[in-house]
Amino acid sequence: MAITSNSSFWCRSESKQRPFPPRPILRDARLRRAPQDEGVARGASDDPHGEERRARRVSNHEATDRRVGKATATGGACEPAANVAGPDGGQAVQETAFGRWMRRLASLPTLRISRWVLIAMLTVAPALAAPKLFESSQLTPSGEYTFGIEGPAVDRDGNLYVVNLGKAGTIGRLAPEATASETFTELPEGSIGNAIRIDATGTMFIADYKKHNIFAIAPGTTEPRLVFHADEMSQPNDITLARNGTIYASDPSWKSRSGRIWRIAKGPDGTMQGVAMTSPRAMGTTNGIDLSPDGRTLYVGESNSGEIWSYAMQNDALAQPRLIAKFEPNTIDGLRTDANGRLFVARILKGTIAVLAPDGRMVRDIALKAKEPTNLAFGGSDGKTVYVTQRQGGFIESFRTDVEGREHCLQMRKC
């Protein structure tokens, strides 16, 4: 809408002028002011100033018309409207430029409201388009991975790695925004991965439960390199990484329904050396494992009992055991912590991820698309996307959370 300024009035330029909505036609000025004038007439005997007020109103209208006429004569604003005949041939009230201006101003609040509505829409729309928190959806096709789907881990670039793509002994990679996995590498003959973790340098560590090994893959390569082996190990099953590069590995014995934790770190000669940590209590089948954000507490899930324990660590010894949560036997698998210290526990056979406070209090239970989650990992550009490996269906699903994962925070060197 083109607006031009003349004198003290505004109007549309002639080339852009659009007709206003029909305005009621009044018979004459006396009819237009009928309610007021009648009121004055009715109370004339009681109000000695009634005639004076009426004269003042007429004078104001005449002054307005004179100002408009002057502005028009000098190249002015909007011309006063011509007298318009009423529908019965009577004389209609003359519409002044001032009246047209006032009617145009009446539309401005609507324009201002429309502007704020538009701003609100632009602000709110991205939030509405974002996935809701804690609502899981299937990410990859069913059947991509074998029954041994496990060990998810995400690198700094957002690539997700999962063991046993298509056949045992492989590692699959799911690129950011992709909906299908591709083969990343294969372990040596006879080895089968069960867990993957990636440190801040980009080095990938793989737990080989079949041959009792820990492999490492350097950044930019795909060749697994053996960095630790122990015949005394029963597996290992799951692993976690400390800030200083120390590996903690769960080592369950399913036959004896017992387990232990291994501590694996670089020795004086630079090679990885490991030892089974001592514990003040007999441990069950140790499985899911992770550290608190400050690295001082180790959380361990025991599958056979459904219990989750926390431990302080004193070199090669576990200390101060504390039972923080108990579920039904054989219903917990992998677990991870976020940067706030909450635990995310895969409830295998239950089809949920249980979120626990550091002291074990239940925060929420996140429903999944299938009933057999084996493990999970934090990823995405902000570390707030949780990827879940599903044994039932052999696929990966994911959901958004509100805090980034501990491991992602370490990888980005923010923690």
The DSSP secondary structure of 25-94, one letter per residue, reads PPS-HHHHTHHHHHHHHHTTTT-TTHHHHHHHHHHHHHHHHHHHHHHHHTT-SPPPPPP-B-TTSPBPPP
| Average pLDDT of the residues in 98-113 | 57
For 33-87, write each residue's pLDDT tens digit.
444 444 434 444 445 455 555 555 545 555 555 544 444 444 444 444 444 444 4
pLDDT of residue 415: 85
pLDDT of residue 103: 62
Q: Are 154 and 198 in contact (CB under 8 A)?
A: yes
Residue 124 lies in a domain: no
Listed range (61-65, 137-141, 321-325, 334-338) with the worst mean pLDDT: 61-65
Cα 184 from Cα 148, distance rounded (Å): 17
Q: Tell me: pLDDT of 91 over 50.
A: no
Listed range (27-36, 143-152, 272-281) with the worst mean pLDDT: 27-36
Q: What is the CATH number of the domain that holds 356?
A: 2.120.10.30
For 302-312, write each residue's pLDDT tens digit.
999 999 999 99
Residue 122 lies in a domain: no
Q: Copy the structure tokens of residue 322.
A: 């504390």
Confidence at 19, pLDDT banded by 50, 70, 90: very low
Cα 351 from Cα 367, distance rounded (Å): 6
Listed range (26-40, 93-107, 211-225) with the worst mean pLDDT: 26-40
| Average pLDDT of the residues in 321-336 | 98
Residues 165 and 95 grouped into a single domain: no
For 336-347, write each residue's pLDDT tens digit.
999 999 999 999
Q: Are 162 and 394 in contact (CB under 8 A)?
A: no
Q: Are 241 and 205 in contact (CB under 8 A)?
A: yes
Residues 161 and 223 grouped into a single domain: yes
pLDDT of residue 131: 81
Q: Minimal CA–CA distance to 236: which of 276, 202, 291?
A: 276
Q: Minimal CA–CA distance to 170: which of 227, 222, 235?
A: 222
pLDDT of residue 80: 46
Confidence at 3, pLDDT banded by 50, 70, 90: very low
N- to C-terminal Cα separation, the chain: 56
Residues 194 and 330 grouped into a single domain: yes
Total domains, the chain: 2
How many residues appear in the chain?
Answer: 415
State phi, psi for 22 to the nearest 5 degrees. -55, 140
Residues 208 and 266 grouped into a single domain: yes
Residues 241 and 318 grouped into a single domain: yes
Q: Are 374 and 352 in contact (CB under 8 A)?
A: no
Q: Minimal CA–CA distance to 300: which of 266, 270, 325, 268?
A: 325
Q: Minimal CA–CA distance to 157: which of 220, 216, 89, 114?
A: 220
Residue 149 lies in a domain: yes
Listed range (394-398, 399-403, 409-413) with the worst mean pLDDT: 409-413
Range of the domain at 406: 138-411
| Average pLDDT of the residues in 209-224 | 98
Query: pTM above the 0.85 mark?
Result: no
Residues 287 and 247 grouped into a single domain: yes
State phi, psi for 280 to the nearest 5 degrees. -75, -5
State phi, psi for 107 to the nearest 5 degrees. -85, -15
Q: Tell me: pLDDT of 147 over 50.
A: yes
Q: Tell me: pLDDT of 224 over 90.
A: yes
Residues 50 and 195 grouped into a single domain: no
Evaluated on CA atoms 328, 331, 334, 340, the torsion sign reads negative
For 242-300, write each residue's pLDDT tens digit.
999 999 999 999 999 999 999 999 999 999 999 999 999 999 999 999 999 999 999 99
pLDDT of residue 53: 54
| Average pLDDT of the residues in 163-178 | 97
Residue % of the chain over a pLDDT of 70: 69
**Which of 73, 92, 111 is the last residue in one of the domains?**
111
pLDDT of residue 124: 55
Grouping H, G, I as helix, E, B as strand and the rest as coil, residue 143 is coil
Residues 76 and 143 grouped into a single domain: no
pLDDT of residue 105: 52
Token look-up 């406070």 returns 357
Residue 119 lies in a domain: no
Q: Tell me: pLDDT of 184 over 50.
A: yes
Taking each helix axis from N to C end, the angle separating 50-73 and 34-42, rounded to the nearest 10 degrees, works out to 150
**Which of 111, 127, 151 is the last residue in one of the domains?**
111
Listed range (54-68, 166-180, 192-206) with the worst mean pLDDT: 54-68
Q: What is the mean pLDDT of the chain?
A: 82
Q: Minimal CA–CA distance to 14: which of 73, 68, 77, 66?
A: 77
Cα→Cα distances 370→147, 390, 395, 397, Å? 13, 7, 9, 9
Q: Tell me: pLDDT of 182 over 70.
A: yes
Residues 234 and 312 grouped into a single domain: yes
Cα→Cα distances 182→165, 166, 202, Å? 8, 10, 19
